[in-house]
Copies of this chain bind each other. A is one copy, B any other.
Amino acid sequence: MYFLSIVALVAGLVSRAYAEEAVKKPDIDVFTLENGLQVVVVPQRRVPIVTHLLAYKVGAADEPPGLSGMAHFFEHLMFKATKNHAAGELDAAVQALGGSHNAFTTHDMTVYHQKVPPSALEQMMAFEADRMRNLILDDETIETERQVVLEERLMRTDNNPGGILGEAFGAALFVNHPYGRPVIGWRNEIEGLTREQLIDFYNRYYVPNNAILVVVGDVDAETVRQLAEKTYGKVERGPDLPERVRPTEPPARTERTVTLKDDRVTIPSFYQAWVAPAPYSEDRDLNDALAVLGEILGGGERSRLHRRLVIKDRTAARVYAYLSSDRDYARFAVGADPINPEALKAVEAAIREELEAVLQDGVTAEELETAKKVYASQFVFARDNMMSRAVQYASDLIEGGTVDELDDARERLEAVTLEKIQEAARKYLLLDRSVKGYLMPADNETAAD
């Protein structure tokens, strides 16, 4: 109430600050500024810190064909000079506050975030609002940063066997949807991006009506509203963007493999994945079921694959299974590191057997209950971490969740049944329609031999 009166007093702007009705969930306030910026506030007052996160609804899957790498390129360019600040000023400010800051890019969003004392929230908002529109995109900046991005690509992908395989694997898994494109971009396309193309991209996507602000921590909604109005509120709304409609993925009808044999690999690894439904798709209940199945199959030391391969067969040093979700599709994956190259075939065969068992008999009630408990504790942990909570809310909204659905993960988890798990496995984890990846030592034969 205190902050509300200050806002009313100082700015006289409160009533017209709402472009849509504010929504309040327990612990969460959500409102939208007049210029279209959506704001999510999550008070969490245990320590005097706030996480300030701005997520743009643009990622690698939004890049025009042939211009891959643009979204991630901006993750770099956004730290360069603006009309009002030299490059490095934001970094210096965060350092001086004893805070931290960073950015990341996915196929669906580009995210900038800082962790600072609450007193610095306005300053962070001012920096963020400034670089939303005032970036100086000159040739020198672009060329310098292009070299940095190419170097990053070299380290992460081109000089890294796992990176090479992962990139080819993604392209084999998604043949039509742009999730098959590496987030960092194809090398020759990064090399070819022009200043004009980058400026077009910036003007199109870096606008308040294409962003979500999430503030978590020692702050209340009225303060955030007031500060956001003072900073972001002054940025002009951009042209309306069309709905984000991406090409859909045709159903997989073949088994595919991707193999990389490389000198630098000493122990082979095996990885297998399927396209799965998105968390806010029609099959959202099967997305939930597959997340739980990932936990049951390869989530920890009690998981089926661990008990089978690491403990019983002793053929693998490490196993895993998980569902990773994006806006349009998820990926269900299983994998293992065989203890030596000779064990690869046994590992692959055992994983197949374990998958067949799930397809045929499902999982047990006990496994389901245990997995739910593990997940529930992960939710508690995630909610306790300001940064992961902020990222979760931004990605939920960007993946198609509504404000009402934030924090529904627990309820969704509870709704998973034995029947749903088997239904999901039978619908999405078809044995001869997956993609398999093999990372192999150079002197070994390929998996197909």
Contact = CB atoms under 8 A, between A and B. Distances in A.
Interface string A297-310: 00000000000000
Interface residues of A, number: 41
A447 B446 contact: no
A176 B181 contact: yes
Nearest to A246: B66
Contact of A247 (B65, B164, B254, B348): B65
B256 A256 contact: yes
A177 to B, nearest CB: 9
A353 interface: no
A258 to B, nearest CB: 5
A156 to B, nearest CB: 14
Contacts of A258: 254-256
A66 B449 CA distance: 37
A66 B261 CA distance: 34
B260 A254 contact: yes
Report how many copies the assembly holds. Answer: 2
A294 interface: no
Contacts of A448: 255, 257, 348, 436, 447-448
B436 A256 contact: no
Contacts of A446: 255, 432
Nearest to A247: B66
Interface in A149-195: 164-165, 168, 171-172, 175-176, 178, 180-181, 186-189
Contact of A245 (B66, B252, B259, B436): B66
Contacts of A432: 259, 261, 446
27 contacts: A65-B65, A65-B246, A66-B245, A66-B246, A68-B247, A164-B254, A165-B254, A168-B253, A171-B175, A171-B176, A172-B172, A172-B175, A176-B186, A186-B247, A186-B250, A188-B250, A189-B248, A255-B259, A255-B261, A255-B446, A255-B448, A256-B256, A256-B259, A257-B257, A345-B449, A348-B448, A432-B446
Given A65-B247, A447-B448, 18 more contacts: A66-B245, A66-B246, A68-B176, A168-B253, A171-B175, A171-B176, A172-B175, A175-B175, A187-B250, A253-B260, A254-B259, A254-B260, A255-B448, A257-B257, A257-B259, A257-B448, A259-B432, A349-B449
Shortest 8 CB-CB contacts between residues of A and residues of B: A171-B175, A66-B247, A168-B254, A255-B259, A257-B257, A186-B250, A254-B260, A65-B247
